[in-house]
Amino acid sequence: GAGVSQTPSNKVTEKGKYVELRCDPISGHTALYWYRQSLGQGPEFLIYFQGTGAADDSGLPNDRFFAVRPEGSVSTLKIQRTERGDSAVYLCASSLGGAGGGSYNEQFFGPGTRLTVL
Amino acid sequence: AQSVAQPEDQVNVAEGNPLTVKCTYSVSGNPYLFWYVQYPNRGLQFLLKYITGDNLVKGSYGFEAEFNKSQTSFHLKKPSALVSDSALYFCAVREHTGRRALTFGSGTRLQVQP
C-alpha cells in the first residue's frame, strides 16, 4: 500500500522567506510526527499530532515554526522568516495511534523534504 | 530525559561475516527500542522493535537485536552480512509512558565489503 508521502522533495528558498512543507500520512494512521535531520545527525523530534490536535510540540525550536493538521490526515509544517540554520531534511512519520503512552506502534517515515535556505 | 548512544560512526565488515551495530540507551522508565535503516536519498525504514518479553527480537532482512536491561543496550546483529546491507543505521528509544516522540542516536554507517 501507499506509504508516507512528502512534498516537495526539495525546497530552496532565500533567508527571510516563508515555506510550507506537506505530509500525507498512511491512510488510517491517527498519529503523525515531524522530525528534522541535519547532516550527520539522527532525526530530532519537532511535533506530534494525535488526530487534529498537537499533542506534543515541545520540539519546535522557536515560534517561527508551526504545524497544522486540520482534518486529522494531511499535515503542513510552516516556517516563517527562514534562517540559514533551518536548512535540513524535514521528515514526517505516521503510526497507528491510540491514546496514552501505551501505544508502541512503530513509526513509518516519508522520504523527507530537503530544505535549503540561501 | 532520554538519550541514545551509538558509539561507532562506522562499522566495516566483510560479506558473509557476522555484524554487530552497537546501541546503548538511557530512559527513566521501561523502554521501547527501535532500529531503523536509511539508504541514500530514501526515508528511514523500520527494521525491528523491542516492546517487552523475549530479549532477542527478530526483524526484517535477517536482522535481530538483543535487549540487555542490565547493560541498557540494544545491539543490532546479523549472522551473515550482505553488500546490500551497507547503509546508515539508527537506534531509537522512547519510554512506555510519557512522550511518544522517538529519540534517535546519531547513526552508524555500515560498510560491507565484497
pLDDT tens for B12-34 read: 999 999 999 999 999 988 899 99
Query: In this predicted structure, what is the pLDDT of residue B68?
Result: 96
d(C-alpha A94, C-alpha A27), whole Å: 9
Chain A interface, best mutation among B100, B106, B109, by max A CB count within 10 A:
B100
Query: In this predicted structure, what is the pLDDT of residue A1?
Result: 57
- Please state the rounded mean pLDDT for residues A6-28: 97
Query: In this predicted structure, what is the pLDDT of residue A102?
Result: 43
Residue whose cell numbers read 521501561: B30
Looking at chain A from residue 87 to 116, which residues have their Cβ under 8 Å from any Cβ of chain B? 91, 93, 100-104, 106-112
| Long-range CB contact pairs, B80-85, < 8 A, 24+ | B80/B16, B80/B17, B80/B18, B81/B13, B81/B14, B81/B15, B81/B16, B81/B17, B81/B18, B81/B19, B81/B110, B81/B112, B82/B15, B82/B112, B83/B15, B83/B112, B83/B113, B83/B114, B84/B112, B85/B19, B85/B61, B85/B110, B85/B112
Least confident of A29-43, A71-85, A87-101, B56-70: A87-101
Looking at chain A from residue 58 to 87, which residues have their Cβ under 8 Å from any Cβ of chain B? 58-59
Is A53 in CB contact (< 8 Å) with chain B?
A: no
Is A10 in CB contact (< 8 Å) with chain B?
A: no
